[in-house]
Amino acid sequence: MDRSVYINGKFFPEAEAKISVFDRGFLFADGVYEVTTVLDGKLVDWDGHMERLKQSLNKVSMTLPVKAEELNTIHLDLIKRNNISEGLVYMQVSRGIADRDFIIPSSTVESLVMFTQKLDLLDSARLNRGLRVITVPDIRWGRCDIKTVQLMASSLIKTDAKNKGYDDAWLVKDGYITEGTSSNAFIISSEKKLITRCLGSEILAGVTRSAILEAATALGLIIEERPFSVEEAQLAAEAFITSSTSFITSVVEINGRIIGNHEIESITKELRRLYLKNIQK
């Protein structure tokens, strides 16, 4: 591979990009991250990602090691160096290097790592796929509002769902769906109400989630931000997920129960159309 990778002020060829074994991000998953979509060589929803990054850092008592303007410049430089037209930029801030100790040191310098991935985000087959999901207990830690690199639970759950022949899993806590393994969950009721979990420590405040809610408002949809049960989801007229790289993707089956007509339905299509129109401006 010949990608350029950014680590703490320098660009490295991928094969030479390394971090210390004493980095707390490596030893304790002591770090946060953001994934910003790239379309036509441009960053999508940059301000939203920066605001969420700042919130995550603040919640774990960390600081951004560079100024926001410099961070934007690094992103654009990586996009140019790696010739990214469609794809993503992954950015991770860890607490930095220190001897292994559960007590968080007060004198570390945060570490910043960034790299790119090419993805055919607007491929019609990708946009028009319908997901089959199962529901499983939400075993993640209690601060899902912080976008940390602690992704073992989500990774195990998503992999298990794939091994069972499904596309993903929706997580359930106290009888109510929280979100997907790497996405926010939505349903549309038979009364054409858009329903998604309210923000709190149980879910991540998705940047795409916010944009879809804005699109729904523009379309005049009634929005209810509240918990919904597995049974309510299975009886929904439509269902979908949102994330930075999936945009808005239809869910056509939950635990074997067909949603709607087992295809992308009208409101999901219209929300996706308006969302893509807005970000492609």
Distance CA(59)–CA(31), nearest Å, equals 11
* Residue 280, pLDDT score: 85
CATH number at residue 273: 3.20.10.10
Which of 121, 147, 180 lies at the terminal end of a domain, its last residue? Answer: 121
Q: Is there a single domain that holds both residue 135 and residue 241?
A: yes
CATH number at residue 85: 3.30.470.10
Residue 264, pLDDT > 90, answer no
Residue 265: pLDDT band with limits 50, 70, 90? confident
Q: How many residues does the chain have?
A: 281
The pLDDT tens digits of the residues spanning 22-56 come to 999 999 999 999 999 999 999 999 999 999 999 99
CB 167, CB 132: distance < 8 Å? yes
Question: Model pTM greater than 0.85?
Answer: yes
* Residue 1, pLDDT score: 61
Taking residues 68-93, report their average pLDDT: 97
Active-site residue, 173 included: no
Distance CA(138)–CA(150), nearest Å, equals 14
Catalytic residue from among 10, 67, 118, 147:
147
* Residue 281, pLDDT score: 78
The pLDDT tens digits of the residues spanning 131-145 come to 999 999 999 999 999
Which of 121, 153, 171 lies at the terminal end of a domain, its last residue? Answer: 121
The pLDDT tens digits of the residues spanning 208-221 come to 999 999 999 999 99
Q: Is there a single domain that holds both residue 110 and residue 148?
A: no
Q: Is there a single domain that holds both residue 21 and residue 107?
A: yes
Which of 90, 121, 152 lies at the terminal end of a domain, its last residue? Answer: 121
Cα torsion 50, 56, 58, 64 to 10°: value is -50
The CB density around residue 126, as the number of other CB atoms within 10 Å, is 14
Residue 106: pLDDT band with limits 50, 70, 90? confident
Q: Is there a single domain that holds both residue 146 and residue 252?
A: yes
